A and B are shown apart, each in its own frame.
Chain A
């Protein structure tokens, strides 16, 4: 079992179809396989134990995913937004390696004898040899296909590993082979080092769909690419969707994207106002909310297009609120909620979200497997299931504020603050408190020209929730810190409140 089978099948069935488009360059599935074979031969002839990528989206990313698989070594895309020191520390952890870089990222690498740096251009131009025997991939299902460094909140980044069996289980369990129509195209704007960048390549290839890449997301270039390439599908993180909606709202209408049929989103909490505006802007588009983690090979729960429409048109409050859920477990995994003692809890009871299934790796290179004896993985996300199995998330377990022994979820306070007409954005974090151990702090962004006092917002929380939930400190900011995939950086906000 090896993920290179995914490309073999696509090239076998639809070799002439376009696999990837980036700017003016395009590759068919047959060409993608030839290039992956060529790179795999170079890897086989080298001492490299990893194939690393330090680059934005380009055809080099899908080639590298499969080249590493054919060569039987892990593919490790590295976050090019990290600092020079952070990047070089990660490179040291994957040496000896072949590393693909662009001009800008190459300049930030310290020279090492055990890391061969190859430019993206040279990698794309590796000689293709049709007469040579294709490389025979290792078939060990336990071999590591992809290694991703997660952005830990403390300490060094952890190396999450995804084995061939995890990724194959995900693809075979959630995608129907060759299900794309001839003229379908998916727009990929997530960076290659994100798990969604990996699953985009694998899912698109297995669906035999055309993949349109953009190097870095901005709303104008996303819309321009979607229009030019007649894009039918796309995956975006919440911040991307809100910028697209804003941009189209300002610059005309969604009629520029007549082929757009399906928009999937995930990677962070979607504000209800954004999804409601997006559904109004694109009434004919199917919206899908996908929830997943790096350690689960991407998506484990899906709120599908019918769920979105049912929630938007329902009079029943229980159905309406599903619009802010992440949907139900895909057929490929099971989801369970457990209390702090590890016991499963009934519907409508909050606890920790656990997941089990073949795609769940739950494993790090140094720390080993975090699965329990029965294969369950704790996502460290808090949440609850409704009676029909819709999963509602309630923040990270690590973000819970423990105030005098009482657990307080930042999410419910943020929802109240966001309900104030003057508030554009809000994040609630733990702040040090002598009396209670931890207290509630809030960073708030006001809408342009809007006004609200700290006292007014405190009063609102007290009325809607209760006094223990009232932020004892509220700071006003011009913007909140986010990472590039739309996750609010609570750690940075906590530091601003004076906590290490």
Chain B
């Protein structure tokens, strides 16, 4: 697993499924970001590899994914079969917002 710096606004896609994410916030430093067991890649890079069946719980469009202390937050912009992991630990779905519609 290679480590990379993540910054808000950055976009990645899964190398092994259809999933795509956008970084909403990220801690400083370098980390490995993977989906379905393979490093996530630039949106325009060519996909390669196979999905790890142990990491195939799926990633859902529109859901926000966070690590335990919520220092990392990703928005899934396209769903896929792989599970998102951050330094090897699966990310959790962030609780939906309960805001009244104001627009």
Contacts and interface: CB of A to CB of B under 8 A. Distances in A.
Q: Do A and B bind each other?
A: yes
Interface of A: 1, 5, 8-9, 12-13, 136, 139-141, 164-165, 168, 172-179, 186, 196, 199-200, 202-204, 207, 233, 235, 262, 264, 266, 286, 288, 290, 292, 298-299, 302, 304-305, 330-331
Contact of A12 (B9, B61, B75): B61
B24 A172 contact: yes
Interface residues of B, number: 21
A178 B101 CA distance: 13
B69 interface: no
Give the secondary structure class of B's interface.
loop
B77 A8 contact: yes
Interface string B42-63: 0010000000000000000111
Given A174-B97, A177-B63, A264 B103 contact: yes
B22 A1 contact: yes
11 contacts: A1-B10, A1-B11, A5-B77, A164-B9, A173-B97, A176-B96, A176-B99, A177-B63, A178-B62, A264-B100, A288-B102
B8 A9 contact: no
B101 A203 contact: yes
Most buried by A among B11, B62, B78, B101: B101
A173 B8 CA distance: 14
Contacts of A200: 103
Given A13-B61, A139-B11, A331 B99 contact: yes
Interface of B: 8-11, 22, 24, 44, 61-64, 75, 77-78, 96-97, 99-103
Contact of B101 (A141, A164, A202, A233): A233
Contact of A298 (B9, B75, B78, B103): B103
Contact of A13 (B8, B11, B44, B62): B62
Given A9-B62, A178-B62, A286 B100 contact: yes
A286 B103 CA distance: 13
B103 A176 contact: no
Contacts of A262: 100-101
Contacts of A304: 99-100
Contacts of A168: 9
A235 B103 contact: yes
A199 B103 contact: yes
Given A165-B8, A178-B62, A5 B99 contact: no
Nearest to A190: B103
A9 B102 contact: no
A307 B25 CA distance: 31
Nearest to A139: B11
